[in-house]
Amino acid sequence: MSDIENIKQEIEQKIAGAEDIKTLEDIRVAALGKKGQVTEVLKTLGSLPMEERIALGKKVNTVKAELEQCLAAKKADLEKKLLDEKLKQEVVDVTLPCRPETQGRIHPVSKVYEEIVAIFAQMGFDVAEGPDIEDQFHNFNALNMPPNHPARQMQDTFYINNQPDKEFDMDAAYVVRTHTSGVQIRTMEKKRPPIRIIAPGRTYRSDYDATHTPMFHQFEGLVIDKHTTLADLKGCLYDFMKAFFEVDELPIRFRPSYFPFTEPSAEVDIGCLKTKTDLIIGAGTDWLEVLGCGMVHPNVLRAGGIDPDEYQGFAFGAGIDRLAMLKYGIPDLRTFFESDIRWIKHYGFLPLDFSSMTSGLSNNGGLAR
């Protein structure tokens, strides 16, 4: 076998064994490059006699062409392998189910909280806050409920022993606030009239059944100015109720009542239809109590450092959870705080459906549930 045949076979073996394009290129250069094995053979042609030169020249050119073909075929082969591997890695399984739905939901209490803030913010109210652990001055005394006032017994208060090293002293003890009304006093202490605030937050009473839990939520409203009247109170609450329940024609009545911190006081009822299975708000001849309110008692203004001969105002308070139950048809309050994922998936709201008076309050078509 001639030299060139040997060289050809040797190179063909190397080509067959190449595992990547870089190695293949090195083989090509070593064979056909300027100083390649085959090129070197060509360089020797000049020194050969004419006949041999022609014969070997032909032979080498054929070998060169064959090797080039062989290299090209191997290159195509390696490129295909590379592509197949890449496709395998980047494979998209079009039969997979689409992205899983968001698990988290906004709790109905948070939702109603936001709705209430949105409505009152548009009426120009600020949001005020007070502490959950409160002294008895702010929770009771300043609200015209001195010690031994019978109204204190109505509130099933949790007392906190804030002096653990001493014997428990009921009068000095702190409480977890039984209502948000104490924020009225805290606001008056900080701010001069005109005052227009709502104070949503947690409240606590020792009570537990389908409509009561030891921790629940309330919001308080307080408006104080020189000429604030009962008519302002009524207008404000009418507007709030209609906006909140998303019902244009909502029957509302003010029923005389008693709260120590307001005089006169009233409870607000909304018209509804109660059937055995349903509660429809805004229709029918039944009434449902939703809110307490009244004109701020002069003693309360005085306790907050405001002169009742110069200023007057109104206040109101309501349960956020209760409003959530009514608006979204949730029958048992205790389920609100059981952290059951199935419950929140059913009654909760999508995180991006935030409440605003312009883009929609509940994003839920109002009472449709």
Residue ranges in contact with ligand DAH by CB under 6 A: 179, 181, 220, 259, 262, 292-294, 315-317
Tell me how far, at minimum, the Cβ of 122 lies from ligand DAH, in Å. 21
Which residue lies nearest ligand DAH, judged by its C-beta? 317
Neighbour tally for 329: CB within 10 Å: 15
Query: 105 vs 138, which CB is nearer to ligand DAH?
Result: 138
CA-closest candidate to residue 289, choices 333, 233, 241:
241
For 24, the token pair is 């293949």
Tell me how far, at minimum, the Cβ of 220 lies from ligand DAH, in Å. 5
Query: 25 vs 135, which CB is nearer to ligand DAH?
Result: 135
Distance, CA of 181 to CA of 134 (rounded, Å): 11
Residue 44 and residue 57 in contact, taking contact as beta carbons nearer than 8 Å: no
Tell me how far, at minimum, the Cβ of 265 lies from ligand DAH, in Å. 6
Tell me how far, at minimum, the Cβ of 154 lies from ligand DAH, in Å. 8
Query: 312 vs 355, which CB is nearer to ligand DAH?
Result: 312
Query: 130 vs 294, which CB is nearer to ligand DAH?
Result: 294
Distance, CA of 301 to CA of 292 (rounded, Å): 18
Tell me how far, at minimum, the Cβ of 356 lies from ligand DAH, in Å. 26
Instruction: Tell me the CB-side half-sphere exposure of residue 7, using CA atoms within 13 A.
Output: 22
Residue bearing tokens 């060139």: 4
For 149, the token pair is 């006032």
CA-closest candidate to residue 316, choices 172, 125, 77:
125
Tell me how far, at minimum, the Cβ of 297 lies from ligand DAH, in Å. 9
Query: 282 vs 313, which CB is nearer to ligand DAH?
Result: 313
For 21, residues 6+ apart whose C-beta sits below 8 A from its C-beta are 75, 78, 79, 82
Tell me how far, at minimum, the Cβ of 207 lies from ligand DAH, in Å. 12
Query: 220 vs 246, which CB is nearer to ligand DAH?
Result: 220
Query: 185 vs 250, which CB is nearer to ligand DAH?
Result: 185
Distance, CA of 73 to CA of 95 (rounded, Å): 36
Cα angle at 258 between 253 and 262, to 5 degrees? 95
